[in-house]
Amino acid sequence: MIALENVCVSYTHLETAILQNVHLHISSGEWVSVVGPSGSGKTSLLKVIAGSLKNMEEHVTINDTPIYTLPTNERHAFLRNKVATVYQQFRLLPQFSVLENVMLPLLPYQKRKHLKDKAIQLIDEIGLHHRITHFPHQLSGGEQQRVAFARALLSEPTILLCDEPTGNLDSANRDIIIQLLKQIHAKGKTIILATHDPIVAEQADRTITIQDGVIHEGEVVE
């Protein structure tokens, strides 16, 4: 369960807060779409939940732990196997293979053999077994994004944050990602997904709209 109580986000050069007194509860296993105009604060909201903003004194709890009261190192350790993020720009490392890209973020924390076995299994599950030794430039955008999902899932997170995950993909690859999201959701993971694409947004159990710093339940049509 994720709870935000009275959360504000502001950036120093901006006069008004990007998010104002946000109250948001997301139950475990829920799939929530976050929509709203560009610059409305969708990415900022995901960062709040990822524990990656600074100077957040407000009340943000994950499984009843107020994450921002933890020292930074402890917060990252607490979140490492709970929250993972997939980005619009796949963010794979070009000099490493598919298998290495999936394993790399966790190599400092877990045994190599264990990670390799899990990574191979995840790469099989996303249908890219034949690509395991390939490098990012040899893959299509859709394939690269599937690798990014495998990388995010390696830590077995309970919460998956997706920031415009289909923003760089054509509709065929978007549909493949939607199917992948459905499988992930069916496994009980919580998905919070920012998107501009109504077809992606409507897959969720619930949609929230950010507008002028305020979160509205449902889709707000201007």
Instruction: Select 34 or 159, whichever has its Cβ closest to ligand ADP.
Output: 34
Binding mask 76-115 for Mg ion (x = CB under 5 A): ----------------------------------------
Nearer to ligand ADP, 88 or 158 (CB): 88
Say whether residue 43 binds Mg ion (CB under 5 A). yes
How far lies 87's CA from each of 16, 36, 46, in Å? 26, 17, 11
Which region, judged by CB under 5 A, interacts with Mg ion, from 34-42, 79-87, 106-114, 184-192?
34-42
Cα(166)–Cα(3) distance, rounded to whole angstroms? 26
Q: Name the residue nearer to ligand ADP (CB basis): 2 or 123.
A: 2
* Number of neighbours of residue 189 by Cβ within 10 angstroms: 20
Compute CA 139 distance to the chain's CA centroid, rounded to the nearest angstrom.
22
The token pair that represents 135 in the structure block: 């490098």
Which of the stretches 12-20, 41-49, 168-176, 211-219 binds Mg ion when contact is defined by CB under 5 A? 41-49
Q: What angle do CA 56, 57, 58 make, to 5 degrees?
A: 95
Minimum Å gap between C-beta 163 and Mg ion is 6
Q: Interface residues with ligand ADP (CB under 6 A)?
A: 11, 18, 36, 38-44
> Whose CB is nearest to Mg ion?
43
Output 36 or 139, the one with its CB closest to Mg ion: 36
- Binding segment for Mg ion (CB under 5 A), chosen from 7-15, 38-46, 153-161, 211-219, is 38-46
Q: CA-CA distance, 36 to 39, in Å (whole number)?
A: 8
Task: Provide the minimum distance between the beta carbon of 10 and Mg ion in the complex, in angstroms, as a whole number.
Answer: 16
The residue among 35 and 148 lying less far from ligand ADP, judged by its C-beta, is 35
Q: Is 195 in the site for Mg ion (CB under 5 A)?
A: no
Is the distance from CB of 8 to CB of 192 less than 8 angstroms? no
Site of interaction with Mg ion (CB under 5 A): 42-43
